[in-house]
Chain A
Amino acid sequence: GAGVSQTPSNKVTEKGKYVELRCDPISGHTALYWYRQSLGQGPEFLIYFQGTGAADDSGLPNDRFFAVRPEGSVSTLKIQRTERGDSAVYLCASSFQMGLAGALQETQYFGPGTRLLVL
């Protein structure tokens, strides 16, 4: 079946510009996550959605970063006034959260990422 897809796969922009990164989760997955991975580092948590609402946005670095998931499926990560330090791979993941009677495991399935380069 189809996995998590992210578009664009690569994005080059100039400092100060606005960018939008899109994530299409696996169909039926209720939870969606955004992470940022800098070169040579592990992914760093940004924000987590359960349905349409942000359950935890504690990882967003500042108010230039914003994410939405208006219909509980596709999500968009928005970055205003981009800076060179924003250059990284932005990863999206989704999971199907089980209820109390279900499995404890909630595997996060990752997309291939969007490589953002801010010049």
Chain B
Amino acid sequence: QKEVEQDPGPLSVPEGAIVSLNCTYSNSAFQYFMWYRQYSRKGPELLMYTYSSGNKEDGRFTAQVDKSSKYISLFIRDSQPSDSATYLCAMSAAGAGGTSYGKLTFGQGTILTVHP
């Protein structure tokens, strides 16, 4: 079993819809949680970064972490065609000094298409 599980989709929604993306994990050592967006033939780009349970909002994006359930989510409001990409969740354990340890463990990625 993989340490991080993510539904690969694909997910297709109409413009303006609310999108929900999810990951579960099994490693209790994970303390830092990230969502990356990856366009075709590009490297991943960081969208959201959280290190505590609860919600974090940034514009149309909300990241949610539930450490007790080992479950994280990303919500996209008012989705746009430009949001069409692969969304990757990523996690890391805590390193020295309380910062995140360098090694990221990624989910499989969810392919999202937002059609006009």
Residues of A in contact with B (beta carbons under 8 Å apart): 4, 31, 33, 35, 40-45, 48, 50, 55-56, 58-59, 91, 93, 95, 97-100, 104-113
Give the Cβ gap from A37 to chain B, nearest Cβ, in Å. 8
25 A-B pairs whose Cβ atoms sit less than 8 Å apart in the complex: A33-B102, A33-B103, A33-B104, A40-B8, A42-B107, A42-B109, A43-B88, A43-B104, A45-B103, A45-B104, A45-B105, A48-B102, A55-B102, A59-B103, A104-B51, A105-B49, A106-B100, A106-B102, A107-B49, A108-B104, A110-B43, A110-B45, A111-B43, A112-B42, A113-B43
Complex contacts, B99 vs chain A, CB 8 Å: 97-98, 104, 106
Q: How far is the CB of A49 from chain B (nearest CB, A)?
A: 9
> Please, which residues of chain A bring their CB within 8 A of the CB of B100?
104-106
Given that A104-B51, A112-B41 are known contacts, is A41 also in contact with B108, CB under 8 Å in the complex?
Answer: yes
- For A48, the chain B residues whose CB sits under 8 A away are 102-103
- Give the interface of B toward A (CB within 8 A): 4, 6, 8, 36, 41-46, 49, 51, 88, 90, 97-100, 102-109
User: B43 and A112: CB pair below 8 A?
Assistant: yes
Q: Are A31 and B102 in contact (CB under 8 A)?
A: yes
With a cutoff of 8 Å between Cβ atoms, the chain A residues found around residue B106 in the complex are: 35, 42-44
Residues of A close to B97: CB separation below 8 A: 99-100
